[in-house]
Structure 1
């Protein structure tokens, strides 16, 4: 039997680490999942077990290379962002993979922003809200001032996707999708590194930038497969939509966070947008993507627990509640419109748990309307694609269609969008077929005619 040509994609999240093999039709033909126990850094703060991750990459690859059913043509990586691996001259890690949630020293924050123009001005130039360790450039700044000996020994600081790529290719590179994601490193007004990066000696620790669709050669003798430079996961998930749809759109990616990504809005962030959790990404072709974030998935989860406890029901009940336009009409007449957060509402005001649940989703959609509009206004966008958890929620989808009657609203279904995006970006390196145009399944939500 002839071996199937495939691409191997490592999709590394904070919790789950997955390896997928895709065939030339972008069908998953192999999948392996791993979870590692976190370790701690020198301060006792939890962090990724970098050595376990490194060994897992090699173990997984050995397994699939030994399998005669597959012929690996290329390998690529998509991982969570805001995480650096610091390596020495020999390529060995010098420090833990510090957690992006690690508390950041207040005095260093003040020192940094006072030196470089103040929080508002600096955040505007770098499209990076003040987020402490989540601004990965600030991790290097901290090391320079708190651990100068370590700073001297660092040959390269590689974002996690590029470190994993380095393990296989032996080549060190930086990638715009990682650099451009709230790192404090990139000046979006000049389309280059911010001046502080050179002034503080950080530039010398950063590897040369390559395009995100670059393909490197593997370091192992006799290897005939390509290695992608690696992707920041949020940018990878956008790639299938950019490949499949050319009319301007917004992707509303829903999970714990609901992120509105507008690849057709490259206007500079305003002070008000930054204060309301807007930021910019750089997509794989190097163009800015304006985005706004809401913590809606988390809020939904907490409030569903509150509803279930109050009405004595099971939270599973709310996984598939059908949309009822009559309930929405009734709520419009009777509920307080000055309350924007469902957490402020008194559950005794609702006749049933289903009525309360409709109000919860209505409140979330009202907040979503404001957040999405921040990146929508002034752009030619005609469509919203919703993927992730809320795309399967008929109340959310119907109310979103009502909130944006001038736009076409679609639920988008695609298995493993992040991994598929990392594969699509280097399509030519491994796939003999044309780019696919049928990997995203869409369900259209029209403005529902309300009953009188």
Structure 2
């Protein structure tokens, strides 16, 4: 860790991802002063698999103490993964915080959940629909559930522990929970049906200051007594903060967040085109506006096609795949996406080496992304962020297929940290740049796409079973 001379105002971003927990000390210019991380382990010592909230809390207090001498820390911002909630009374948790990957047997949730048209929230496995988790906890642990004074989304649970003020916030409520109506920007019918209204605290924007540190927390961390606690935000919405501009998510533009999942967020797209059977959904932006999204397991499928030791391909190897009509037909992962449940296969002459496998995997991810963008009606410039920015061909090939949308790569290594910082410094220009990727022209690429789509009987979906 390094630090700048004469440190001025700074803030701490508490970033709880599904795999790791991170504390980042960021100065007023958006520069990272210090960072510490620990694994986010799931515990199996209770009634069900749950998060190690006490381990995170103890570690966070100690790390904040280490950060306290490095800058004048004026705020803490919680940013966490979605599909997670905490049930608390005035003393703390009444039940452990359930892991969304846990199986939830013995509940007929389909009979409870609202229609897709009301929530734009597709039916998902395990506890990925937060409404299912809450209904299951209420059914399996009725006495403890009845003691809960607040149902807190996960970022707001940490804010509440830090300052004692309970709040709700729309980015976490609107993340495939079944609890939220993204068009009305209000609770879905599930909340009243289950009798949860009184437990859901008043809504606040993610940048709202809920209060200052509780005196015991200030003492334990050495942070200033007037250090403010912000309401906080869902992590993928934190990553979208830098693209929102002003106060609007209506200016057409498209962000591709890439990693294990490739998530396409289409600002300005019409929700009427969303379809539950294609794993399309609406998220809610930090500005309280619905954002049409579609996703597939891009990183996992790329790995399945490229192999364990991928070697970047040459332009000639991409040309070979296209000219031979060697194509990967979805899908190559078992979790979600528009073709979930279909068994993937390779048509045409099989790739013979690591380079050709990389070429085929790249073409597959480009065609899948292009399909999702058409299905969404995505418009405006496309920014790629995350792991796919390391692929020199992904952006240029996508630009070639979508000449009406300029494609660029972001060099921001941590969109979640930057988004947390922007909640505090909303008028600031975030650090980092975008690098345009000029189109890469391969003869026959457009015909290759046509063949790929017709092989899957792929026309861009019509708005049957549409959301709203």
Asked whether the equivalents of residues 266 and 287 of structure 1 are also in contact (C-alpha less than 8 Å), the reply is no
Match of 1:386 in 2: 384
CA 1:89–1:304 in 2, change beyond 3 Å: closer, same or farther?
A: same
Residues 1:266 and 1:346: Cα distance change in structure 2 (over 3 Å) = closer
State the partner residue of 2:375: 374
Alignment of 1:125 onto 2:115: no
Match of 1:259? 263
CA contact (8 A) 1:323 1:395 kept: no
Distance 1:60 1:163 in 2: 19
Tell me if structure 2 keeps the 8 A contact 1:108–1:142: no
**Secondary structure of 2:271's aligned partner:** coil
- Compute the RMSD of aligned alpha carbons: 2.4
Counterpart position of 1:9 = 13
Larger helix share, 1 or 2: 1
Q: Per the alignment, in what secondary structure is the counterpart of residue 361 of structure 1?
A: helix
Query: Could you say if the C-alpha distance between residues 75 and 112 of structure 1 is closer, same or farther in structure 2, counting changes exceeding 3 Å?
Result: same
Contact 1:73–1:226 under 8 Å retained in 2: yes
* 1:369-406 C-alpha deviation (Å, 9 max, x unpaired): 1112222x1x6x22100000111101212211122121
- Per the TM alignment, residue 53 of structure 1 is displaced from its structure 2 partner at its CA by 1.2
Give the deviation of 1:349 after TM superposition. 2.9
Corresponding residue SS for 1:391: helix
In the aligned structure 2, how far is the partner of 1:332 from the partner of 1:2?
Answer: 57
Unmatched 5+ stretches in structure 1 = 117-121, 309-314, 429-433
Deviation at 1:82, TM superposition (A): 0.7
Structure 2 segments unaligned to the other structure (5+ residues): 216-223, 333-343, 445-468
Q: Conserved in 2, the CA contact under 8 Å of 1:265 and 1:288? A: no
Q: Determine if contact 1:140/1:202 at 8 Å carries over to the other structure.
A: no
The 5 A counterparts of 1:61-76 are 61-65=64-68, 67=69, 69-76=70-77
| TM-score normalised to structure 2 length | 0.83
Contact 1:257 1:297 in 2 (8 A): yes
Q: Check whether the contact 1:269–1:279 (CA below 8 A) recurs between aligned residues.
A: no
1:398-409 → structure 2 map (5 Å cutoff): 398-409=396-407
Instruction: Point out 4+ residue stretches in structure 1 off by more than 6 angstroms.
Output: none
Q: Conserved in 2, the CA contact under 8 Å of 1:323 and 1:394? A: no
- Residue 39 of structure 1 deviates from its aligned partner by 0.9
| Alignment map for 1:182-331 (pairs within 5 Å) | 182-221=176-215, 223-243=225-245, 248-268=252-272, 270=274, 273-305=275-307, 315=309, 317-318=310-311, 321-324=312-315, 326-331=316-321
With normalisation by structure 1, the TM-score equals 0.86
CA 266–204 in structure 1, closer or farther in 2 if over 3 Å, else same: farther
Alignment partner of 1:157: what SS? strand
Aligned equivalent of 2:43: 39
Give 3-state SS (helix, strand or coil) of 1:26's partner: coil
How far off its partner does 1:38 sit?
2.6
Question: Do the aligned partners of residues 25 and 210 (structure 1) sit closer, same or farther apart at CA in structure 2, a change above 3 Å counting?
Answer: same
The alpha-carbon distance between structure 1 residues 341 and 207, as it changes in their structure 2 partners (threshold 3 A), is closer
Matched-pair contact (CA < 8 Å) for 1:189–1:268:
no
Output the CA distance in 2 between the equivalents of 1:339 and 1:98. 36
Distance 1:251 1:41, change over 3 A: farther
- Structure 1 pair 323–251 and aligned structure 2 pair: CA distance change class (3 A): farther
